[in-house]
Chains A and B, each alone.
Chain A
């Protein structure tokens, strides 16, 4: 059974803290993604990666960075957390690009106070 896991289900951080969200997939997928999910806005792509050590900006990369040192792991970093980054963060992976489904983790609900 395919699996994408995320390091935390719930996280509470203070403004200005550096925050790490970890994602691991066990399917040997090339592609990995980070989204944030907000009510009424659907999913918005933050960053994605098509290969180890490779990253591409998505639609809303400001305030975020990523790291992919190993194929199975994709980390999202909030350099200095702000309250407007309070959201649900979803990680996903896929085998290919167009027409390939994405497999999602359960999400991390991050609250920044």
Chain B
């Protein structure tokens, strides 16, 4: 069945550092891919998404490119801020998964001033 694997955390960075959070997936067909972010005390909210191969999703300085050849959707940001401290979830949904959204385990990011 469909699955998502993302790098374990926590990830600790200094402000203005470069961020990469790795995400790989297993799915048949052509799923849609998402990154969600959960700030402390809140529910998840969509950060960005991509619906087909080679699409790049972007929002708030974050980017991720749908790479079908490597089944990956890594999240990147060029310069993180303290306010980016949160838990990040990679997710996918596709027809072959019965339309359900499958979430990764989440990666906690701490950014130090």
Q: Are A98 and B46 in contact (CB under 8 A)?
A: no
List residues of chain A with CB within 8 A of the CB of B81. Answer: none
List residues of chain A with CB within 8 A of the CB of B22. Answer: none
Q: Are A99 and B49 in contact (CB under 8 A)?
A: yes
Q: Is A12 an interface residue (CB 8 A)?
A: no
Total A-B pairs, Cβ < 8 A:
50
Q: Is B85 an interface residue (CB 8 A)?
A: no
Q: Are B43 and A105 in contact (CB under 8 A)?
A: yes
Q: Are B49 and A101 in contact (CB under 8 A)?
A: yes
Q: Are A98 and B43 in contact (CB under 8 A)?
A: no
A1-37: CB near B (< 8 Å → 1, else 0) gives: 0001000000000000000000000000000010100
Q: Are A101 and B34 in contact (CB under 8 A)?
A: yes
Q: Are B44 and A48 in contact (CB under 8 A)?
A: no
List residues of chain B with CB within 8 A of the CB of A43. Answer: 44, 89, 103
List residues of chain B with CB within 8 A of the CB of A35. Answer: 103
Which residue from chain A places its CB closest to the CB of B105 in the assembled complex? A42
Which residue from chain B places its CB closest to the CB of A94 in the assembled complex? B101
A76-113: CB near B (< 8 Å → 1, else 0) gives: 00000000000000101000011101111111000000
B98-112: CB near A (< 8 Å → 1, else 0) gives: 011101111000000
How many angstroms between the C-alpha atoms of A43 and B103 in the bound complex? 6
Q: Is A45 an interface residue (CB 8 A)?
A: yes
A25-72, CB < 8 A from B: 33, 35, 40-43, 45, 48, 58
How many angstroms between the C-alpha atoms of A90 and B89 in the bound complex? 14
Which residue from chain B places its CB closest to the CB of A31 in the assembled complex? B99
B1-43: CB near A (< 8 Å → 1, else 0) gives: 0001000000000000000000000000001101000000111
Q: Is B95 an interface residue (CB 8 A)?
A: yes
How many angstroms between the C-alpha atoms of A51 and B9 in the bound complex? 37
> What are the 9 closest A-B residue pairs judged by CB atoms, nearest first?
A104-B43, A97-B99, A99-B32, A101-B46, A43-B103, A42-B105, A42-B103, A104-B44, A99-B51
Give chain A's interface residues, CB within 8 Å of chain B. 4, 33, 35, 40-43, 45, 48, 58, 90, 92, 97-99, 101-107
